[in-house]
Structure 1
Amino acid sequence: MDTRNYKLYHECGFDSRQFLEQYVSDSPKMVFEEDFLIFPIKNLRKTFTEGHITGDVLIDLSTGSVVHHLFAACDFFKHIIVLKARDRCIMELKRWVDERTGAFHWGHATKLHVDTEEDSYKLQEKEEKMRSALQHIVKCDFEKENMMDPIILPPADYIISFGLLDVLCKDRDNYMRYLRKFSSLLKPGGHFVIVGCLDTTYYIVGKEKFHYFSYDEEFVRKALVGEGFIIDRCEVKMRMGVSDLCDYKGVIFVVAHREK
């Protein structure tokens, strides 16, 4: 498929609220719950609760203003630093953190993290804990050597990239360059988590079609190993959602670490 005319996420941006509504909301029309909500949350919870998590700092590099995957991390990390290149995404996320009128509703995602049925207190407590951890939302420029210039961030114990490498990169060389740049923020012995879509060429937000870098499981594995990572876990889930909004064939979840 010719993707030359598709827009690029970091160059054009998109309607951040529309993106959330289409791909991670609780709308009856949202068909990606199993793939984009339940699958990554289940695997992140398993990673954090069954692994040996140490450290204080987690850096998140994800698409749009998604935050649902980070609920699994707020019990383990004192500081969650979110890097965003688009002002609109920052505003959308801060609206939720500051509990402003009109903020996106994440209650459906909170329930996936809390082992309770109708305990509203536990749900509220989880969201408060998440908001407390999300006090560092930093503007960045992916093309600068120091993406956060002039800010210098502390080395991260964990990095999570939810879809960002996929929408940011034009080709394999581009992917390797950004993977190297993102992983440079990681301290020795730190972990890198990648969540992405397999064999994808486009995704739609509103009426606009955007480029999505197409790759398979083998490519991700080789890319991480090539950058000196040891893969701890790799899970692949075949597509469940039926929609023309995105042509992905599966979702991948990978956890890898660098030796000290």
Structure 2
Amino acid sequence: MSEFTKAFDYEKEFNARLYLDTYFHLGSGSLADDFLRFELANLHKIFTSGGVTGKTLIDIGTCPSIYHLLSACESFNEIIATWYTQTELHELQMWMNKDQGAFDWSSVVKHVCELEGKSGKCQEKEDKLRGKIKQVLHCDVSKNNPLEPVVLPKADCLIAAVCLEAACRNQNSYITALKNLSNLLKPEGHLILAGDLGANYYEVGPNKIFSLAVSEQSLRNALSESGYAIRELVSFGKPEGADFDNSDYEGFYFIHAQKP
């Protein structure tokens, strides 16, 4: 088995629009409500603390989601979004172009605006993020330069949200991916990771999509072995009595790490 998920195989199983419809309507009562509230609160905190700011942020595996960039766009001059499959790219392009039929992010945007004390500014928030996204590039974390053939100046910050667990098939490839991502970062640059703990899969329609099951300890080990210093690691356990059956997740994590 390849150590990394191939784009062709992933695209056969992963329906980008169905994924968005399933997991990104905040208030739907799904497991995503817990995930979104946890991650959005931590993203808001990290990007309003004043410690994680700069010129350029590269988001690893943006497509088809934008929720994790809503707070980040307040702290960076430019955002480089990335994609791995064409269907994911298509969803982002529809939102960027304000196309009829683009996914409706309003429930998530409303929540972020409320966190920021800017209720009623949802359209302005989406437009601000659109304006901050300066490039949309292909990304492959298995490569030494994940943005190959493009070579960019080193970034101040990287985000990888619910991305590496889909791309990496085992702990060794996860570590390799983190080392490759480090090549995109300035010295003392920031790395933000977010995702599920203990999940071997999540369902998108009838398909079970592979996820590398990670734990707090495996994440700590991977970051240490790839040369990052952890500044903060917070987690949220699966609530007692939660009966969501579209993933075998055990909780969620949020990590702020830094390159030496």
What corresponds to 2:247 in structure 1? 246
Which digits, 9 at most, give the CA deviation of each residue in 1:141-186, with x for residues without a partner?
Answer: 4444433232112211110110111111111111111111122211
Preserved CA contact (<8 Å) 2:142 2:176: no
State the TM-score, normalized to the length of structure 2: 0.89
What corresponds to 1:192 in structure 2? 191
Aligned pairs for 1:56-67 (under 5 A) are: 56-62=55-61, 64-67=63-66
Cα offset for 1:29? 5.6
Cα offset for 1:250? 0.6
Gaps of 5+ in 1: none
- What is the letter of the counterpart of residue 159 of structure 2? I
State the TM-score, normalized to the length of structure 1: 0.89
- What is the letter of the counterpart of residue 17 of structure 1? R
- What is the letter of the counterpart of residue 217 of structure 1? E
Aligned pairs for 1:1-260 (under 5 A) are: 8=5, 10=7, 11-13=9-11, 14-26=14-26, 28=28, 30-35=30-35, 37-62=36-61, 64-115=63-114, 119-120=119-120, 122-240=121-239, 242-259=243-260
Cα offset for 1:51? 3.7
In the superposition, relative to structure 1, how do residues 25 and 192 fare at CA in structure 2: closer, same or farther (>3 Å)? same
- What is the letter of the counterpart of residue 80 of structure 1? I
SS of residue paired to 1:179: helix
Preserved CA contact (<8 Å) 1:24 1:30: no
- What is the letter of the counterpart of residue 248 of structure 1? Y
Preserved CA contact (<8 Å) 1:87 1:139: no
- Shift >6 Å, 4+ stretches: none
Cα offset for 1:27? 6.7
Gaps of 5+ in 2: none
Provide the aligned length of Structure 1 versus Structure 2: 252
Cα offset for 1:193? 0.7
Q: Give the whole-Å Cα distance in 1 for the aligned partners of 2:129 and 2:229.
A: 29
Aligned sequence identity (%): 32
**Which has the larger displacement, 164-173 or 53-62?**
53-62
In the superposition, relative to structure 1, how do residues 143 and 230 fare at CA in structure 2: closer, same or farther (>3 Å)? closer
